[in-house]
Structure 1
Amino acid sequence: MRKTVSIAAIALLGALTACGGGGESESGGPVTLRMTTWSANPAHVELFNAIAADYRKTEPDVTVTFEALPLENYTTTVTTQIAGGNAPDIAWILEGSAPDFVASGALTALDDSIENTADLAPAATALWKQDGKLMGYPFSTSPFGVFVNTDMLRQAGQTLPTGDKWTWDNAVAVAAATAAKTGKQGLVIRDFDYKDWSNLATVFRGWGAEAWTADGKTCGFDQQPMVDAMTFLHKAIFTGKALPAPGVAADFFAGESAMTIAQISRASLLKDGKFGWTLVPLPAGPSGAYSVIGQGGLGVLKKGKNAAAAQEFVKFFTSPANSEKLAQFFPPPRQSQLNAGTLAKANPLLKPEQLQDVVIDGIANGVVKPSHTGSAEISQAVRSALDPMWKPGADVPGVLRGVCTAIQPLLAK
């Protein structure tokens, strides 16, 4: 059922090119703007509402509401809303579906709605441009790092490897030993849960592996770097017991695992100080040090009822002043703000050196998570084809060949 819905959602997005911007007419009276997001984190919601309240001080006729949708079905829900005549005015777009939204004609260009576009990092905006126009604003350009429960490691008699010793081999060894000693879990790849395979890019890119070639036309799952990376991951799960097995849930931020791969937006979950922790970059893999970036962009929907008013709010929401506030959770694409001093003001829980090592250096050297047109259909095909790998004794190379068999026709579209 999910595959049918996902394919239908992409078909709906494609149809928007023909539908055009029929929803752009303005009412002329008080306006209520609706922005969809995937985060119901109370700290995020509080910040968004505060920015909206500030906007009302100068635009009293504009009310902004934020609609949090479940992450797993987020894009499907938004595209269904658009096709059903209930398009949000503004949508938080995930990097995986950015190519579909940008290419579909569903979004209005934002070049005139963003202050000082020259300050935006070219690497951060590349995914969001079409024919030189900025179709989405990547307000969150956030590298992944590893949060570590230092109290749990200490309890297990383990020491966090540092410097050149911070490698994937050593990371899973410490995670496995800590899990065995404490009875809790070792390393959790947050939001993977054996469903969202794209989060595995935080691991397999350490082997230089890619889901597909840079032009998006050729599958990379059956190539040796991916085979090596997935073999390592399979062994870490089923032999070393360093990662939770399928069906096992563990929340690092509730003290249930020794480590988790996540972005700095999650740091707010640690403000209660229940245990000691640190944040470090992703471990080095056989191909060396690397960084993986997740992005969230803001898009103004042509079919929204108040597109012009939405563009004005986006201009306010993304201003340098509000960008600095949002940096508490969402590292900005503004080059002038990508420094430890600015980010530290908004992130009191993180040390300047952590922000430098994980965020600033990560943005400078990182690669965005896999994205492709037709992302929903491709992602579902990858997920289904990977299912046989998540059991002991799986034929990892054979499974990965099956992934390519499943997605190569989709990549060639």
Structure 2
Amino acid sequence: MRRILSSFIAITLLAGCSSTAADDGPITLRMTTWSANPAHVELFNAIAAEYQASNPDISVTFDALPLENYTTTVTTQIAGGNAPDIAWILESAAPDFVASGALVPLDGIANADDLSPAATALWRRDGTLMGYPFSTSPFGVFVNTDLLASAGQTLPTGAGWTWEKTVAVASATAAKTGKQGLVVRDFDYKDWTNLATVFRGWGAEAWSADGKTCGFTQQPMVDAMTFLHQAIFTAKALPAPGVAADFFAGESAMTIAQISRASLLKDAKFGWTLVPLPAGPSGPYSVIGQGGLGVLKKGKNADAAAAFVTFFTNPANSAKLAQFFPPPRQSQLNASTLAQANPLLEPEQLQTVVVDGIANGVVKPSHTGSAEIGQAVRAALDPLWKADADVTAVLTGVCAAIDPLLAK
């Protein structure tokens, strides 16, 4: 197994920090991202071009890396002496990056007093902002209303929008149409953290708030994973392992995703809507995914990178980015402001999924040593994805695998 994230960063810090100022001459900043979505790339490049117009000696390139191995690739680059100047950091890796000392403080961010304390909590060390969570995005459910109608199904609303009803509709639609029912996007039986969008409906947590106690054997998690297992193998409401289905290509009735995916529906050939996550046994809830920008001390141009991040995240550009990435700026977290940047979504959808979701939601699981813990959980969960799996036994195995890691 590759070394965990904190080990990579520790090695680079022991080797000494690079200069925070570049040599005289043109500077090319490299920012790693996990998105190659053309709409995202176009917006990033437009912001970079505007910056370069006022700073002709500075250019910015965006290096899109595969999501599945994104953090591992970035940390390998750091350890190998090829650190990016700026990195898009996933919430799961934030505790390691923030605590390690590998990042340049960002308290110089423009209008920093506008940042939501809740949105920035994961990105601070001793009160200092170490990463800027430019994307604070709750998950919702995109629904192919045409596919439901063709199956004689209607979308449950109000108090009827529960996980039980959702799985029933997804199952019936899949059986009638030959398409898939509900897809947890980017899960694919690999990234288990995306299942938090389901299991938190039961009040389940991967580990305790202090990060020291495994939560997989607690009753809420057992109940949630039992429900999920039955939804996959009995109700056939979710694609089975090895089955791929792209909602945005019309291949499934529903998908759990963030509003950044809405751009994929610009030319959709089917009717669709966006609704909040279904209520679980513990009631309504929201789960948030965050992406933060960090300036690497080991990058070659730390000062220039910090200046670009300040520009990239200023109020004007934050409003542009809100088309895909809900900002942490309190002044912009309202339906009317978000609607200006999101013409495909109705103000009511933005209010219920995004604004209310940020106000009431919790961030996906994160922990120091996230790479090693995440790999251990994934491996221990593998036996669950079989029709005859013993759910309780599998979850007991998960805790056995990660208890020593949580205790570090």
Q: Which amino acid aligns with 1:389?
A: L
> How big is the shift at 1:408?
0.5
Q: Which amino acid aligns with 2:94?
A: A
Equivalent position to 1:39, from 32, 35, 42: 35
Supply the distance in 2 between the matched residues of 1:381 and 1:129 (Cα, whole angstroms): 27
Equivalent position to 2:105, from 109, 128, 131: 109
Q: Which amino acid aligns with 1:353?
A: E
Say whether the 8 Å CA contact 2:5–2:96 is kept in structure 1. Answer: no
Does 2:259 correspond to 1:264?
yes
> What is the CA deviation profile of residues 130-164 of structure 1, one whole-angstrom value per residue up to 9, with x for unaligned ones?
01100000000000000000000000000000000
Say whether the 8 Å CA contact 1:388–1:399 is kept in structure 2. Answer: yes
Say whether the 8 Å CA contact 1:20–1:302 is kept in structure 2. Answer: no
Supply the distance in 1 between the matched residues of 2:203 and 2:46 (Cα, whole angstroms): 42
Equivalent position to 1:57, from 53, 56, 63: 53
> What is the CA deviation profile of residues 151-181 of structure 1, one whole-angstrom value per residue up to 9, with x for unaligned ones?
0000000000000000000000000000000
1:370 is matched with which residue? 365
SS at the partner of 2:28?
A: strand
2:395 is matched with which residue? 400
1:288 is matched with which residue? 283
Say whether the 8 Å CA contact 1:16–1:104 is kept in structure 2. Answer: no
Supply the distance in 2 between the matched residues of 1:271 and 1:287 (Cα, whole angstroms): 35
Does 2:246 correspond to 1:254?
no
- Aligned-residue sequence identity (percent) comes to 80
Equivalences, count: 408
> What is the CA deviation profile of residues 17-50 of structure 1, one whole-angstrom value per residue up to 9, with x for unaligned ones?
4234224231121110000000000000000000
* Aligned pairs (5 A) from 1:125-274: 125-274=120-269
Supply the distance in 1 between the matched residues of 2:304 and 2:388 (Cα, whole angstroms): 56
> How big is the shift at 1:313?
0.3
Supply the distance in 2 between the matched residues of 1:27 and 1:270 (Cα, whole angstroms): 45
SS at the partner of 1:286?
A: coil
SS at the partner of 1:244?
A: coil
Does 2:386 correspond to 1:386?
no
- Extract structure 1 runs of 4+ deviating beyond 6 A: none
Gaps of 5+ in 2: none
Equivalent position to 2:90, from 88, 91, 94: 94
TM-score (norm 1): 0.98
Say whether the 8 Å CA contact 1:207–1:287 is kept in structure 2. Answer: yes
* Aligned pairs (5 A) from 1:342-381: 342-381=337-376
RMSD: 0.8
1:25 is matched with which residue? 21
Does 2:72 correspond to 1:73?
no
Supply the distance in 2 between the matched residues of 1:352 and 1:9 (Cα, whole angstroms): 40
1:317 is matched with which residue? 312
TM-score (norm 2): 0.99
Supply the distance in 1 between the matched residues of 2:19 and 2:140 (Cα, whole angstroms): 41
Q: Against the structure 1 CA distance between its residues 285 and 8, is the aligned structure 2 distance closer, same or farther, given a 3 Å change threshold?
A: closer
Q: Which amino acid aligns with 1:35?
A: M
> How big is the shift at 1:13?
1.8
> How big is the shift at 1:9?
4.4
